[in-house]
Structure formats: C-alpha cells, structure tokens
C-alpha cells in the first residue's frame, strides 16, 4: 500500500512528510548537473556542498526560483530522486501527494507543479497555498471564524496571509525572502569591503551573526573571500550591525507588505489578530530579532512558530489526514 506524502517544495529546501512517519526528508533544493552529458550527478545535500565549488562542466542548479519551477526537467529529476529515496510507493499503487505553492502563482505555474509531481510518481496530486499550510503546521486553528495572521518567510518568497474559516481572507506573496537577504549581504561586502564572497558564505553570515532589529546584540565573524583589488584571498571581520544595515531595505519591503495585508483585513478579524498575534514561520523566522521588528512596526504581538522550518511540512501532514474528507 502506498503512503500519502506531503511536500514543501521550497526554493531553498524540500521537506517531505510521509503519513504515519512525520517529516522524513529535509534537503536543499539543489541538483548538480554535468553540463556536457546532462547527467544528474547529485541531488540535495550532496549537491549543495558543491555550490560555488565545481569545475566548469559541473553546475549546481537550484531548479526553483521564487517559489516557482524555473527548470521543469531538473525539478522532476529532483523530486523523483527524493520520492524514490523514501520508498513510499507500493508494488502497484502510487502515493497521493499534497504540494504547497505560494499564494500568487499563475494557473500555468500550478499546472507545472502538478505535472512534475505526477511524473515523479504521484497518483492524485493536490495543491495547497503555503501560508495556509504553514499556519496549520504552526498549530493555528484556522477553521474557526476568527482571524489568524501568518508571515511565512522562505528562501524565494515571503507569503503573508490572514486566514479565517479555513480560507485566505487577504494575502500577499513577494519575491523578497532569504535568498534576497543573502544577496544583500554579498553586495554589501562587495561595496563596503571590496571583497567578493559566495552565496554560501553570505548565508552563513546571515544565520550565524545576522540581526534584523537593533536590540544590543553585536557579534562578529571572520569572512574569507577574494579581494577585488588584488584578486587574492583576504579575510575581513563583519559585525551583526553591518548585516542589519545590509538587509534593512529588503526587510522594510516585507514589513510594508505585512502592513498592507493588515490594512485590507476586515475590522473584526483585525481585532482577533491583536488578541492572538502574528505567527512567523519559514527559515526567515529563525533570524535574530525578526519578531521584534514586526512587533514594533505592526503594533501587534508577534511570535515565532515552534518549528518554523518544519511548519509547512507539518501542515501537509495534518491536511493529508483530512484528505479523505476532501473532494478533488
């Protein structure tokens, strides 16, 4: 008997939830490809280790950009690899698959995701909107007639939504998220320190010493890269406050979008949000001080989900349990 699976198909990571087993896979959405033969050399963690470190003919590709499929064949190869690895297919049966997508993707993009999942070995494929699934996974009861607000900051997109009665009341999805912040840090180091660093280094800086709100913490970290003037390797020291400065503009945009969603929310639901607060999910919720930034700007309580990275995958698990009651 095939087991149902839920997939959080993220720009940065793919998480897979298998019914009855919980989250069984969490790997980077990266595929290493030999450009001469078009052969897939590695997928996930193994491919991520190669980012920025491969010879000319090997390319580490992220097939998803901004929450949508940028490269159809490679996404299919990646999903097929992950699904085969799980060994969830029965002898003759295929699993039902529930996949999450950003709120504002087009019908064509939705169709592409469904097609990829079907080709990778799914029987029935269901699509759900990411913030809704994230809210369920973060433990919100969104099926009651009361307002819940979730801000899901992933790798490629930030999805902001107000939910009630199991549906999305108002939402915004913007392509400013974790990857944007990494890029901001890369550009800042290049401009201020005249040093070129790779995307993995930028991500490490963000995770280890990054702050999103000035609340007194100021750590430092040694960063190695290539000097733009001499072309030789060089080490600099970067501080938390520099990361704050580098990422400020992008974070302001995310905050403005969250305000816009609140402004479009019916007053009764706004009152509920003041009571319950806003929940932050996704990898972005792990950033230091991010809840303080949103709390100050939105004037409502803001909390991080218990397992922000897993919220969407956990939500797919809960929705899969209710799949029997859903009509396709």
Query: What digits encode the pLDDT tens for the residues 39-51?
Result: 999 999 999 888 8
- Please tell me the predicted confidence (pLDDT) of residue 103: 79
- Please tell me the predicted confidence (pLDDT) of residue 91: 62
Over residues 285-322, the pLDDT tens digits come to 999 999 999 999 999 999 999 999 999 999 998 988 87
Label residue 88 exposed, middle or buried (CB < 10 Å: 0-12, 13-18, 19+): buried
Residue 13 marked in a binding site: yes
- Please tell me the predicted confidence (pLDDT) of residue 327: 43
Residue 166 marked in a binding site: no
Residue 205 marked in a binding site: yes
Over residues 52-85, the pLDDT tens digits come to 887 888 888 999 887 788 888 899 899 889 888 8
Residue 316 marked in a binding site: no
Question: Looking at domain 5-132+311-325, which CATH architecture does it have?
Answer: 2-Layer Sandwich (3.30)
Residue 54 marked in a binding site: no
Q: What is the pTM of this model?
A: 0.90
Residue 203 marked in a binding site: yes
Residue 155 marked in a binding site: yes
- Please give the CATH topology (third level) of the domain spanning 140-304: Nucleotidyltransferase; domain 5 (3.30.420)
Residue 157 marked in a binding site: yes
Residue 44 marked in a binding site: no
Which pair of tokens denotes residue 251? 């974070």
Are 301 and 295 spatial neighbours (Cβ–Cβ below 8 Å)? yes
Q: Where are the domains of the chain?
A: 5-132+311-325, 140-304
* Pairwise CA distance, residues 122 & 118, whole Å: 5
**Within the chain, which residues score under 70 in pLDDT?**
1-2, 88-92, 323-328
* Pairwise CA distance, residues 97 & 6, whole Å: 6
Residue 147 marked in a binding site: no
């Amino acid at each position: 008997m095939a087991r149902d699976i839920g997939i959080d198909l993220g720009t940065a990571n793919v998480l897979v939830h298998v019914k009855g087993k919980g989250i069984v896979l969490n790997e980077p959405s990266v595929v290493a490809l030999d450009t001469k033969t078009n052969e897939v050399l590695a997928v996930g963690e193994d491919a991520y280790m190669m980012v920025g470190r491969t010879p000319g003919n090997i390319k580490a590709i992220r097939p998803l950009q901004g929450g949508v499929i940028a490269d159809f064949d490679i996404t299919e190869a990646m999903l097929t690899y992950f699904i085969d690895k799980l060994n969830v297919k029965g002898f003759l049966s295929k699993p039902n698959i529930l996949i999450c997508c950003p709120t504002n993707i087009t019908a064509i993009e939705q169709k592409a995701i469904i097609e990829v999942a079907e080709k990778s070995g799914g029987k029935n494929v269901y699509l759900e909107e990411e913030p809704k699934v994230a809210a369920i996974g973060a433990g919100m009861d969104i099926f009651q007639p009361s307002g819940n607000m979730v801000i899901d900051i992933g790798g490629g997109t930030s999805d902001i939504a107000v939910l009630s009665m199991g549906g999305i009341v108002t939402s915004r999805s913007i392509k400013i998220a974790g990857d944007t912040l990494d890029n901001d840090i890369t550009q800042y180091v290049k401009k201020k320190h005249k040093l070129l660093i790779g995307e993995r280094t930028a991500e490490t800086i963000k995770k280890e010493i990054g702050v999103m709100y000035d609340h007194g913490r100021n750590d430092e970290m040694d960063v190695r890269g290539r000097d733009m003037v001499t072309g030789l390797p060089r080490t600099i020291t970067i501080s938390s406050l520099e990361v704050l400065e580098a990422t400020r503009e992008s974070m302001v945009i995310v905050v403005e979008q969250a305000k816009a969603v609140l402004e479009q929310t019916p007053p009764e639901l706004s009152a509920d949000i003041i009571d319950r607060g806003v929940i932050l999910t996704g990898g972005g919720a792990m950033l230091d001080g991010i809840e303080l930034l949103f709390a100050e700007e939105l004037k409502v309580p803001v909390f991080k989900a218990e397992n922000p990275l897993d919220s969407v995958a956990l939500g797919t698990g809960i929705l899969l349990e209710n799949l029997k009651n859903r009509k396709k």
